[in-house]
A and B are shown apart, each in its own frame.
Chain A
């Protein structure tokens, strides 16, 4: 999708042009004052070693700690406040109320990277951020490392017990994610059967499940992506009426994952795979 101006380990030659969610974006020279309103992009920028080029990140960018977190919001952005940081590149994951257009009018380059729908899309965004920050080689290395580690975990899971089922919890009212979603593709790759798939007749990807159904489906594995937002933990799950009968509760196969890891599509995808790998290993013993 992007136009590769430089290749191999040689430094990127500017200007570079990439195709992002907001169309063709040309970055004329290596940016040194980046504002990131996308928590995923923030993680990627720091993983690429471009942290020194970042002057401000939004209020949701809680990782890594070194990121210069501000009160800027990616959901209800204030154009003047963003412009106040005199950015030469603004990275966003969401474009409400003509944000990119307003910034464009001020002569600020905007890179809009929408939520990735596939691993391929996630890797492409990392490559793109590498290109526009002049760190193409680092990006290639990061992607290769992610692919290698994830590949090893997937291969291991495929050798183990098959036919296990999983329930991914987004909040305590039992919103879940199907195999169609980005996070759901992690479970598909690990050979797990997602109990939310049967509940998504409308195909939105994030159905709210009936408690009765989860108990009856009795998933082998429960993944809690609502540990931070909603304080869920194995003891609160097992205390729900009827849930003491669920396979995952009885075997203690409840994975606690930080909400932000489970809702982003950046380099920490590997951490999510690692948590799943250790839960699967315990199940297999």
Chain B
């Protein structure tokens, strides 16, 4: 290879190969199938397939499941798998986006304060809203609003530093806002210690067995956010070169970065609002893909959507079956199994671009 070619390879990172696209899609499909077939209640593979066939009006197929088992499969298990896939896709692609936009390998979807803000919103809802109002419906809205306000504040603080072209300033503003909102959340929680159990459950993060209602709530946000990010995926590679280089290539750095951050944040806030805080997905999934494939952002972002969805579906299978019929908090599973796995990936690969 000539030095010119090497230089070109650096500037234009590897794109999406058919092999990796097929592998990621296959991983997601296997995860989805495992998610639907495996659960604390053994419905039987054949019966589940029959039931699915009957739902699809396949000729001559009738479900052998009892009405209760039908309800378990279609009202509890399948929507939970779908919700896990949506949230996993969102967290992974948001993490990858932040890593590209901020040129920071440690960036995760919670970098700009969305987790702390959502945590505060949820805690306030749990502590102060009257029982009748609160229910299941207002808590996600409060979390969403809290997360969005925190990120807005991060942006305001970052801008007021008058170094708006410096991504590092924004990250520092995010750290500041996170510290402030976390302190506030802890204070509210400590003043209302009867809410500890509920706040704790929320913060641990889990995919709720709430049927299709939560899927309907988060789907629009996650769909729009993912479409926006994927449409801008080539620009992320350019942004990753540095703000000055990107500007010299004709990219309106501020505007593109704002669009990407808003999309990643709103999608993450919607996901966090229904599932609480699920850590590690936004870091481990993009880095694993990068280390294994060495691709640039234009391939990494769509792969993150597929692998992130599959990873969280599998993690949720562990969460609801490892100690069945008891559950393990999903955030514990993602970190407990994700961290050693990632350590192995780090050791066995020589590392791509950060």
Contacts and interface: CB of A to CB of B under 8 A. Distances in A.
A210 B190 CA distance: 29
B131 A241 contact: no
A201 B206 contact: no
B21 to A, nearest CB: 34
A210 B71 contact: no
A170 B198 CA distance: 10
A210 B69 CA distance: 14
A201 B135 contact: no
A216 B41 contact: yes
A85 B210 CA distance: 48
B335 interface: no
Contact of A173 (B132, B201, B324): B201
Interface string A223-262: 0000011110000100011101100000000000001000
A209 B324 CA distance: 8
B197 interface: yes
A209 B326 CA distance: 4
Nearest to A71: B191
A251 B213 CA distance: 25
A66 interface: no
Given A171-B201, A209-B326, A241 B211 contact: yes
Contacts of A152: none
B68 A216 contact: yes
Interface string B199-214: 0010000101111110
B197 A241 contact: no
A163 to B, nearest CB: 19
Interface string A181-209: 00000000000000000111110000111
B193 A60 contact: yes
Contacts of B134: 230-231
A210 B325 contact: yes
Contacts of A12: none
A202 B134 CA distance: 33
A76 B196 CA distance: 13
Nearest to A201: B323
A218 interface: yes
Given A215-B72, A236-B135, A245 B67 contact: yes
Contact of B197 (A73, A170, A231): A170
A75 interface: yes
Given A215-B76, A216-B41, A241-B76, A174 B327 contact: yes
A200 to B, nearest CB: 7
B48 to A, nearest CB: 13
Contact of B193 (A76, A174, A210, A241): A76
B36 to A, nearest CB: 12
Interface string A49-78: 000000000011000000000000101100
Given A213-B325, A236-B135, A241-B209, A218 B197 contact: no
Contacts of B198: 171, 229-230
B17 interface: no
Contact of A211 (B76, B190, B195): B76
Contacts of A201: 323, 326
Contacts of B194: 60, 229, 259
Contacts of B77: 212
A242 B68 CA distance: 7
Given A171-B198, A210-B209, A242 B76 contact: yes
A241 B325 contact: no
B2 interface: no
A60 B194 CA distance: 8
Interface in B152-198: 190, 193-195, 197-198
Contacts of A229: 194-195, 197-198
Given A211-B76, A213-B40, A199 B323 contact: yes
A177 to B, nearest CB: 12
A202 B68 CA distance: 28
Contacts of A76: 190, 193
Interface string B143-156: 00000000000000
Contacts of B323: 199, 201-202, 207
A256 to B, nearest CB: 12
Interface of A: 59-60, 73, 75-76, 170-175, 198-202, 207-213, 215-218, 228-231, 236, 240-242, 244-245, 259
12 contacts: A173-B208, A207-B327, A212-B325, A215-B76, A216-B41, A231-B131, A231-B135, A236-B136, A241-B209, A242-B68, A245-B68, A245-B71
